[in-house]
Amino acid sequence: MMNNAQRQLSRRDREQQLDGLIEAYWDERSEDFSKLRQKELSGPCAAAWQAYLAGKLAADKPLKVLDIGTGAGFFAVLLSRMGHQVTGIDMSADMLHQAKQNVLAAGCSAEFRKMNAQELDFAAETFDVVISRNLTWTLPDVMQAYREWQRVLKKGGKLLNFDSDYGLVTFSRKEDQADVHANIRQELVTECNDIKDELRISTHRRPEWDARFLRDLGMQVTVEEEIAPQVRTDKNMQFDTLPLFAIIASK
């Protein structure tokens, strides 16, 4: 029988294995994913997202922003255009390569670093804003991620997290070319389902769980259950039908 120390080590080992699988998955998805974000940036979604973010940040000066799970740099481009100082992090080196290319192509500037969202290499109270989109559903330890995100926020800073409750969903391959998930290999779809089903966050119903946990950390939390009609405004792009929730938490 394992003692507590052995169980902790075993869980940590599995989380590290999951981190590796997740990184490899997004490395392979990076080029196609970047094309999707480029399409968003060139269409009406970009303006819609920018207007939404401007309303939530209500900033009269440049802010230091940490874009966690920056992916292909969608938020990095938008927030840089808005005049903010953006640092984007991601576990996937291939994603970061795409992000750098997209930021350069947009004529913007941002710093990018390869980093685990659950283990941030920043001092406490470094950023005015921490932002993330469709990341938390992929993390082995969301509780630790939220603790880290709060730690690096300045007093009065804001956490903006946009995600969906994918835990009960089984992903399937899409044939419709207008679907944002079209042309993904079946093997990758299967791998995505296998990884998702192993993650603890998949057992929680969201965003209620997230809001409770962040409040337990002492943050002031507002939840918007569905913002897709405000930001997914491109009729030529078919996103999934799950509600896209927004969590706005202040430290």
| pLDDT at residue 6, as a whole number | 42
Q: SS in 3 state form for 126-171?
A: CEEEEEEECCHHHCCCHHHHHHHHHHHEEEEEEEEEEECCCCCCCC
| pLDDT at residue 85, as a whole number | 98
Ramachandran sector of residue 139 (left: φ over 0; alpha: ψ -120 to 50; beta: rest): beta
| pLDDT at residue 2, as a whole number | 40
Name all domains of the chain by residue range, CATH numbers in brackets. Answer: 11-250 (3.40.50.150)
| pLDDT at residue 78, as a whole number | 98
Q: State whether residue 221 is helix, strand or coil.
A: strand
Task: Please give the Cα distance from 57 to 179 (Å, whole number).
Answer: 30
Q: Which of 187, 188, 198 is nearest to 18 (CA)?
A: 198
| pLDDT at residue 10, as a whole number | 64
| pLDDT at residue 3, as a whole number | 42
Distant-in-sequence, close-in-space partners of 170: CB < 8 Å, separation ≥ 6: 193
pLDDT averages per 10-residue partition of the chain, 251 residues: 48 78 87 93 97 95 98 98 98 97 97 97 98 95 97 98 93 62 72 86 97 98 98 92 96 98
Enter the tokens of residue 42. 């060139």
